[in-house]
Amino acid sequence: MLRTLWARRPLRWLLAFAALVALWGVGRLTQVAWQSLYSGERLPYLQRLAPTQVTIRWQTVEDSEGVVRYGPDSRLEFTAGEGRGRQHEVVLEGLHAGTRYFYAAGGHEPASFVTPPTPGSDVPVRLWAIGDSGQVGEGLLAVRDAAVRWMEANPRGDRPLFDAGLALGDNAYRSGTNPQYQAAYFGPYGALLRAFMFWPAYGNHDARRWTYFRVMTLPENGEAGGIPSGTEHWYAFDHGPVHVVVLDSEASDRASDGPMLQWLREDLAANRLPWLIAVMHHPPCTDASHRSDDPGDSGGRMRDMRENALPILEAGGVDLVLSGHSHSYERSHLLDCHYGTSDTLVPGMVMARGGDGAVFEKPSAGRAAHEGAVYVVAGSSSKLDSAEFGHPAIAASQRRLGSVVIDVAGKRLDARFIDSEGSVRDRFAIVKGSGTVRPNVCR
Ligand SMILES: [Fe+2]
């Protein structure tokens, strides 16, 4: 049969081409599988930190016992463990909310972390957002150190340096391989990852290899707050008065009636916390190294999230939406119902305008639909790219390396873009229970 086909010249070429494609496919698959492996040491890091449980992960070069000793003080009176192996994942359960625990995983020196408070507690919360932080080099280190220095210089009484990190996606360039994750994430952020939970979003570079979901342990069953998502691609967590939803704008169905956005609707309908923050790698509004007006840019993901996710988020009372992807900083006015391209922006969609230092008022004291949200692109935590900055919804833009520190206290949220030298280059606040209800195009 094959010999007969081979005898025909056009088919001969087709068969040869098919064989080449198959060969390339096998080679590529092998390469992807190989790059998902990392056999070096990985120091202990926190995953799925919730008020009553945490997962401790680490990796050893040789087989070793997966044992964690832990407790509320340095005596480490409790023990949890699994069998021998190289990749360790130990769950500590029965913890108390808002409590510091000390732990020693494997033979590593002890570290400590603080469990989140009981959801709904009116405690001050500090979140630190890094975006597109995966480029190894001076920029990454400068951004990290400048933000840590700023937080140390601006402490919150006896509270920790911050409460949780948000990694907005593209956490390891170029292809999110396991060795690249070690070099860009677990290496430079290692000392922080063992004491603080960094909640990640899935970026396009993370999706190039099979590593992200192998190194992360994320809440599929609502362990950290919100309703179960049934997947690690998207999930929610609570921290005191703040509910955070993390969406997968890269690889999951972005249709309004798809599973992710159906979950989002149900999760937000069940949410009772006063503050709502959303995270998605692809920004709904950007005019920088990516352009949200261009439906061909990033496979239409920015358009999809803007058209499909934003109406649900704004109906759920979202206050702040954090993204990366464009390698710069962009921050919007207080927006509502802007779901089209930039030329569809009309005055009724801008609830309040404000450059550096803006204070945006939202009349309801708690969660309320369509009182305005601020959209932040913070994709410059390790590298910069070209940026034109012409989007009319954007109030402040900076082509600078940096990251964003968000403080929520009572009815006020303060966000600051801190550049790689430690200067605050943009700040804004959202104050609830203040101002009057403004009409907008959605009402
Ligand atoms: Fe990206």
Q: Tell how far the Cα of 282 is from the centroid of ligand 1, in angstroms.
A: 7
Q: Provide the whole-model pTM.
A: 0.95
Q: Mark whether 370 and 427 lie in a shared domain.
A: yes
Buried-state track 118-147, b at ≥16 Cβ within 10 A, e below 16: ebebebebbbbbbbbbbbbeebbebbbebb
Q: Mark whether 178 and 326 lie in a shared domain.
A: yes
pLDDT tens for 90-111 read: 999 999 999 999 999 998 999 9
Residue 16 belongs to some domain of the structure:
no
Provide the pLDDT for residue 6.
Answer: 65
Give residue for tokens 């570079």. 205
Provide the pLDDT for residue 23.
Answer: 82
Provide the pLDDT for residue 19.
Answer: 84
Q: Tell how far the Cα of 112 is from the centroid of ligand 1, in angstroms.
A: 32
Question: Bigger pLDDT: 121 or 7?
Answer: 121
Q: Mark whether 181 and 246 lie in a shared domain.
A: yes
The total number of structural domains that make up the chain: 2
Provide the pLDDT for residue 26.
Answer: 78
pLDDT band at 5 (very low <50, low <70, confident <90, very high): low
Tell whether the model's pLDDT for residue 241 goes beyond 70.
yes
Q: Tell how far the Cα of 326 is from the centroid of ligand 1, in angstroms.
A: 7
Q: Tell how far the Cα of 327 is from the centroid of ligand 1, in angstroms.
A: 8
Provide the pLDDT for residue 390.
Answer: 92
Tell whether the model's pLDDT for residue 212 goes beyond 90.
yes
Residue 373 belongs to some domain of the structure:
yes
Domain limits at 230?
Answer: 125-432
Last residue of a domain, one of 50, 80, 114: 114
- The DSSP result for 211-235, as a single string, is -HHHH----SSSTTSSS--SSSSSE
Q: Tell how far the Cα of 252 is from the centroid of ligand 1, in angstroms.
A: 15
Provide the pLDDT for residue 100.
Answer: 98
pLDDT tens for 377-406 read: 999 999 999 888 999 999 999 999 999 999
**What does the pLDDT average to over 289-294?**
97
Q: Mark whether 198 and 247 lie in a shared domain.
A: yes
d(CA 126, CA 432): 17
**How many angstroms separate the Cα of 73 from the Cα of each of 15, 99, 143, 240, 431?**
68, 11, 32, 23, 38
Tell whether the model's pLDDT for residue 1 goes beyond 90.
no
Provide the pLDDT for residue 2.
Answer: 60
What residue type is 22 in one-letter code? A
**How many angstroms separate the Cα of 10 from the Cα of each of 5, 72, 352?**
9, 74, 66
pLDDT tens for 34-81 read: 677 898 999 999 999 999 999 999 999 999 999 999 999 999 999 999
pLDDT tens for 297-331 read: 999 999 999 999 999 999 999 999 999 999 999 99
Q: Mark whether 196 and 96 lie in a shared domain.
A: no
Choose among 190, 192, 204: nearest CA to 164.
Answer: 192
Tell whether the model's pLDDT for residue 180 goes beyond 90.
yes
Buried-state track 199-227, b at ≥16 Cβ within 10 A, e below 16: bbbbbbbbbbbebbeebbbbbeebbbbbb
Residue 151 belongs to some domain of the structure:
yes
Residue 33 belongs to some domain of the structure:
no
Q: Mark whether 326 and 243 lie in a shared domain.
A: yes
d(CA 209, CA 31): 9
Q: Tell how far the Cα of 202 is from the centroid of ligand 1, in angstroms.
A: 9
pLDDT tens for 338-357 read: 999 999 999 999 999 999 99
Q: Mark whether 313 and 422 lie in a shared domain.
A: yes
Instruction: Point out the least confidently predicted range of 29-33, 284-288, 295-299, 422-426.
Output: 29-33
Q: Tell how far the Cα of 338 is from the centroid of ligand 1, in angstroms.
A: 22
Provide the pLDDT for residue 443.
Answer: 60
**What does the pLDDT average to over 361-365?**
96
**Cis link prior to 174 (omega < 30° from 0)?**
yes
pLDDT tens for 247-261 read: 999 999 999 999 999
pLDDT tens for 19-36 read: 888 887 777 677 767 677
Q: Tell how far the Cα of 375 is from the centroid of ligand 1, in angstroms.
A: 16
pLDDT band at 133 (very low <50, low <70, confident <90, very high): very high
Contact indicator for 74, 110 with CB cutoff of 8 Å: yes
Tell whether the model's pLDDT for residue 89 goes beyond 70.
yes
Beta-carbon neighbour count of residue 161 at 10 Å? 15
Q: Mark whether 347 and 280 lie in a shared domain.
A: yes
State what percent of residues in the chain have pLDDT above 90. 87
Q: Tell how far the Cα of 365 is from the centroid of ligand 1, in angstroms.
A: 35
CATH assignment of the domain containing 66: 2.60.40.10
Residue 439 belongs to some domain of the structure:
no
Q: Mark whether 227 and 327 lie in a shared domain.
A: yes
Residue 186 belongs to some domain of the structure:
yes
Contact indicator for 235, 204 with CB cutoff of 8 Å: no
Residue 437 belongs to some domain of the structure:
no
**What does the pLDDT average to over 151-179?**
96
Q: Mark whether 185 and 79 lie in a shared domain.
A: no
